[in-house]
Chain A
Amino acid sequence: MAARPLLRVEDLQLHYRTRRGIARAVDGVSFDIRANEALVVLGESGCGKSSLAKALLRILPRNVHSFRGQVMLGDTDVMALGDEAFRRDVQWTRVAMVMQAAMNALNPVVRVGEQVAEPLRVHAGWSRERARERVVRTFEQVGVATDFLQRYPFELSGGMRQRVVLAMALVTEPELVILDEPTSALDVLTQASIMNVLKRIKREQGTSFMLITHDVATSSEIADRVALMYAGQMVEVADADAFFHEPAHPYSQMLMASVPRLRQQTEPAPIPGQPPELIEPPAGCRFADRCPRRFDRCAREPEPLRVGERHHVRCWLHAGSGGAGGGGRA
């Protein structure tokens, strides 16, 4: 597999203006996604993970205070593109997104077949006939019978609607699909079958995924890589193996310990305290307040430190180990 990343994000920043001050929803985030790789962005609600997705697809609200950083999609410098060029060349054609609760946002009066064809017709300018053919194929991929094309959203179950939304993202055959909480509203069995669909598409189409979720167990269903966000920053980015079995950041460790396990007797342990506000987050390490291993260096803000092959941690505990500090990439 090519070592050159499909998506490379460097020091991305997205701040909002609010009535109470500047909310640092995405505050200096760096990561990359390789072709045919699935990155799971984990985090509790309000950590900025949805803002990160919206920033990548430029679905921005009006109260943006600052939006900067570097985003390279292949050789394209995405941040340098104008809005029109971005909409034409990147949005949906190369990077598609399934928004949170999108299954409930389907247009109730348009047949789902037409809704799925819409990205093709609007973004790629395809003819109706050609688009239809592709839609049928995409429906087969996501496991929706083709006679559902003629149905309206309310005639479908939640699981089917989620598949339709997924089809909408996949229909343009994008290189990267961003999924924001794609299964959190679904039942266990439906969740599992949606994850099966994602796995199969990843294997068969070579698509890359960025999956945003708060659910650690679901994330392990697809993750090649895991990025854990906390208060607008990525505190740890690592391969799934390393993250799930030997997390490096204290927050990662506590998060893993808080996950209830079905097949183990270990009791989950809560993480005391609450995440800080995105408006005026504490100086220094943002997790320091809740961290059991806090020490004096934590008063200064840690940079992402490299602790291993494609493994970065924002924690002073790792300052001595695994090579030079700084945001360098392998």
Chain B
Amino acid sequence: MSTERAASAESTSPLVSVRDLRTWFELRQWGFLRVGSVRAVDGVSFDLGRGESVAFVGESGCGKSSLARTLLGLHRPTGGEVSFDGYRVQDLAGRDLQWYRASVGYVQQDPYGALPPFMDVRRILAEPLVVHGVTDRAERERRIRRALEEVRLGPGDAILDQFPHMLSGGQQQRVVIARALVLEPAMIIADEPVSMLDASVRVEILNLLRRIQSERSLTLAFITHDLSTVRHYADRIFVMYAGRIVEQAQVDELLEHPQHPYTQALLAAIADVDAANARRVRDVPAGEPPSLLHPPPGCRFHPRCPHAMAGTCDVRDPGMFEPRRDHLSACWLHER
């Protein structure tokens, strides 16, 4: 925690500040009997600086998408708080809430599903503007074209009259990004923006996002399961497991000196293309991520952890330790 405070004191205040955020989903039987809560996000804290590009990495079900949706205001947090530009997001309403929604853009995973199939591109890009009261047609057209140019789809009217199904996957994702940009947000949350795209297109889209991020000095939060794409597109990484952040550090630091056993396992499972891969069996921790309905006590990774210490890891929650400078890890191994 001390490092975070130090960092924020150095620069200006962070754009996003999340403290002990919890997003739980209640499970009900027959529509009313509460039978428990799925703790999708369970006590997450971090700060995002202005113009910073970060990645949240984890397996499916680790809570990274729920975290993204909570940041977007799509889920109400169960506890904790999210501050954006100094305002408590939970308290926003009416015009302030619309301002917040305009300030945070959203890029989704499945570009085809993210675009209403019955609208043409012009309409799709006009929608956010209409919602935010840009009534002047010419003004809307101007902003739509600017966004399209920014994602390298314009100029030209051809694309504006196309329907999503007429576009390639890459073009669809560019439209999705243009829609996120059209309201000129301060932050973009991209949830697996390239996982449904072909390899050659992935790089294009990632480069595009990075370029836009640096040109507009946006805060960019990537949600991804793919550590290998992160290196070139994020400054900082948060590794999530079972609803918690288990490790965070600058990209190179984290990839070269992973501290948390989970991160180490994750990195070990990722192949860099090499014909020799076929001849070796990878170390994969046994078992599967725990149920978020009944997470294990103590460290949530302990049932799969090769270094689990009985009496500690299965009893007490690890706090955040700082085994290396500016490198945080939630593991008892790093208790000093």
Q: Is B270 an interface residue when CB atoms closer than 8 A count as contact?
A: yes
Asked if A270 and B288 make an inter-chain contact with CB atoms under 8 angstroms apart, the answer reads: no
Across the A-B interface, how many residue pairs have beta carbons closer than 8 Å?
125
Binds A, one of B45-53, B87-95, B100-108, B274-282: B274-282
Asked if A220 and B269 make an inter-chain contact with CB atoms under 8 angstroms apart, the answer reads: no
Q: Which residues of B contact A187 (CB under 8 A)?
A: 59-60, 225
Q: Is A102 an interface residue when CB atoms closer than 8 A count as contact?
A: no
Asked if B203 and A260 make an inter-chain contact with CB atoms under 8 angstroms apart, the answer reads: yes
Question: In the complex the two chains form, what is the Cα distance from A78 to B203 in whole Å?
Answer: 41
Q: Which of B203, B231, B265 is in CB contact (< 8 Å) with A270?
A: B203
**Shortest Cβ distance from residue B205 to the other chain A in the assembled complex, whole angstroms:** 9
A53-67: which have CB < 8 Å to B?
none
Question: In the complex the two chains form, what is the Cα distance from A297 to B146 in whole Å?
Answer: 41
Q: Mark A232-255, 1 if CB is under 8 A from B, else 0.
A: 000000011101110000000011
- Given the known A-B contacts A188-B226, A262-B227, are A196 and B273 also in contact in the complex, defined by CB atoms under 8 Å? no
Asked if B59 and A189 make an inter-chain contact with CB atoms under 8 angstroms apart, the answer reads: yes
Q: Is B266 an interface residue when CB atoms closer than 8 A count as contact?
A: yes
Q: Which residues of A contact B275 (CB under 8 A)?
A: 220, 223, 239-241, 243-245
Size class of the contact patch on chain B:
35 or more
Q: Which residues of A contact B288 (CB under 8 A)?
A: 157, 159-160, 190
Q: Mark A103-141, 1 if CB is under 8 A from B, else 0.
A: 000000000000000000000000000000000000000
Q: Is A176 an interface residue when CB atoms closer than 8 A count as contact?
A: no
B150-175: which have CB < 8 Å to A?
168-170
A151-167: which have CB < 8 Å to B?
157-160
Among A45, A260, A271, chain B packs the most CB atoms within 10 A around the CB of A260
Q: Is A216 an interface residue when CB atoms closer than 8 A count as contact?
A: yes
- Given the known A-B contacts A188-B270, A244-B274, are A271 and B200 also in contact in the complex, defined by CB atoms under 8 Å? yes
Question: In the complex the two chains form, what is the Cα distance from A220 to B273 in whole Å?
Answer: 6
Q: Is B271 an interface residue when CB atoms closer than 8 A count as contact?
A: yes
10 contacts between A and B (CB under 8 A): A158-B60, A188-B59, A188-B266, A196-B282, A215-B199, A217-B270, A221-B278, A241-B275, A255-B199, A259-B199
**Which residues of A are in contact with B by a Cβ distance under 8 Å?**
38, 44-45, 157-160, 187-193, 195-196, 199-200, 214-224, 239-241, 243-245, 254-256, 258-264, 267-271, 274
